[in-house]
A and B are shown apart, each in its own frame.
Chain A
Amino acid sequence: GQQLNQSPQSMFIQEGEDVSMNCTSSSIFNTWLWYKQDPGEGPVLLIALYKAGELTSNGRLTAQFGITRKDSFLNISASIPSDVGIYFCAGRGISGYALNFGKGTSLLVTP
């Protein structure tokens, strides 16, 4: 599968700060998704995006499907300690069913 470039690799922030992370691909995707993995658990789907330019929110989380269809970003506003975890982007290309994952962004939030 195709490797996605996810950045940053890790973030260490204070409670209340906003967070931004992004993911890029060298080829076009028709689906972008964002997952969160809490420590010791499996990833959980946060947001799914299916159209270029689509902007979707889930509480304090906002994600966008890039216009070029080769990137996506996730923003977290007013972070809280329970936001701690690893955030994965994932994308599916225009052919096939395989879901390609980024390597993850590890987020630490201090009170």
Chain B
Amino acid sequence: EAQVTQNPRYLITVTGKKLTVTCSQNMNHEYMSWYRQDPGLGLRQIYYSMNVEVTDKGDVPEGYKVSRKEKRNFPLILESPSPNQTSLYFCASSLSVANTGELFFGEGSRLTVL
């Protein structure tokens, strides 16, 4: 089954404790992206990757890092989480850069930073 898989789905952590949210897709998609969803703000892009070893900042990249060492994986790293990073995070992928609108989303990772 074609899917985007995120882990963990739920996480409660404390300020400053590094964490990684993994994202994997099995569709051989070139383009991958991370979004955060907050009440009243909709979906905001954090980082995106057009292909292996090619990443770039989205609208709200502060406090986050990403890497794209393999085509299928695009982990989101919070080196020192803070409470304002409490949010619902979505990983998404699309076939190619030309199709960046036709995104397949994961089920989301709800992160709470205390």
Contacts and interface: CB of A to CB of B under 8 A. Distances in A.
B1 to A, nearest CB: 14
A50 to B, nearest CB: 9
Interface-centre pick from B40, B42, B50, B108 (highest chain A CB count, 10 A): B42
Contact of B58 (A31, A35, A98): A98
B100 A92 contact: yes
Interface in B8-47: 31, 35, 40-45
Interface residues of A, number: 22
Interface of A: 1, 6, 31, 33, 35, 40-45, 48, 88, 90, 92, 97-99, 101-104
B100 A97 contact: yes
Question: Which 7 residue pairs across A and B have the least CB separation, nearest first?
Answer: A42-B105, A103-B42, A101-B43, A97-B100, A31-B101, A1-B59, A33-B101
Contact of B105 (A31, A40, A44): A44
B79 interface: no
B97 interface: yes
Contacts of B92: 42
B103 A99 contact: yes
8 contacts: A1-B45, A45-B103, A45-B104, A88-B42, A88-B43, A97-B31, A97-B100, A103-B42
B92 to A, nearest CB: 8
Contact of A103 (B41, B59, B102, B103): B41
